[in-house]
Amino acid sequence: MAEPRSIAFDEAETTERVRAWLLREGFQADEIRALKPTGRGVDLVANGPAGRWHIEVKGGTSSRRGSIRDGKGFTSNQIIDRVMKGFFTAAAMAEAEGRGAARVGLAIPRSALAEFYVGKVRSAMAALGIAMLWVEEDGSVVVANDSQGRNR
């Protein structure tokens, strides 16, 4: 049986789409810091008059050019791995930041499987104040579960 289709944005492409969304939300380019996919730390930090965000970003395909998954959406097992690692990292950021110091988010390309696995931790994300940033196939970002802002 074929794997369900997943949006094939790698982590760098997903980060760039969330960065563009932050710019549309009122942040200036010099207020946004993005790590490379191989970097350690908070993937995206935005800090300015428009607010403060710490965002964990996960891609929907491999960032390694020439890999077997290059340009192909992740499998079910790979998606659950990304969702759970992303959830853990976002939860650790929420704990470190404390409620209200910064908005914490998890950004993932939207797919049926990603939605299914995120659904398993949605109430925990809400309790921790973690917003879900869905990156759509057209590159737009839809925010859900944002207790510190508005859902859009």
Cα 70 to Cα 63: distance, rounded to the nearest angstrom: 7
Q: Classify residue 35: in a domain, yes or no.
A: yes
| Count of Cβ atoms closer than 10 Å to residue 9 Cβ | 23
Distance from the Cα of residue 77 to its chain's centroid: 18
Residue 129 is given by DSSP the state: T
Q: Classify residue 106: in a domain, yes or no.
A: yes
Find the CATH number of the domain harbouring 48: 3.40.1350.10
Greater confidence (32 vs 81) lies with 32
Is residue 77 pLDDT above 90, yes or no?
Answer: no
Helices 76-97 and 112-119, axial angle in degrees (round to 10): 50
Q: How many domains does the chain have?
A: 1
pLDDT digits (tens, 9 = 90+) for 15-54: 999 999 999 999 999 999 998 766 788 889 999 888 899 9
The token duo for 10 is 């790698």
pLDDT digits (tens, 9 = 90+) for 109-150: 998 899 999 999 999 999 999 999 999 989 999 999 766 554
Q: Which domain holds residue 30?
A: 11-144
Question: What DSSP line would sit under 36-101, residue for residue?
Answer: -TT--S-SEEEEETTEEEEEEE--SS-SSTTSTTTTSPPPHHHHHHHHHHHHHHHHHHHHHH-TTT
Model pLDDT, residue 99: 64
Q: Classify residue 5: in a domain, yes or no.
A: no
Q: Classify residue 4: in a domain, yes or no.
A: no
The helix/strand/coil state of 149 is: coil
Q: Classify residue 74: in a domain, yes or no.
A: yes
Q: Classify residue 152: in a domain, yes or no.
A: no
Q: Classify residue 3: in a domain, yes or no.
A: no
Q: Classify residue 120: in a domain, yes or no.
A: yes
The answer to whether the pTM exceeds 0.75 is yes
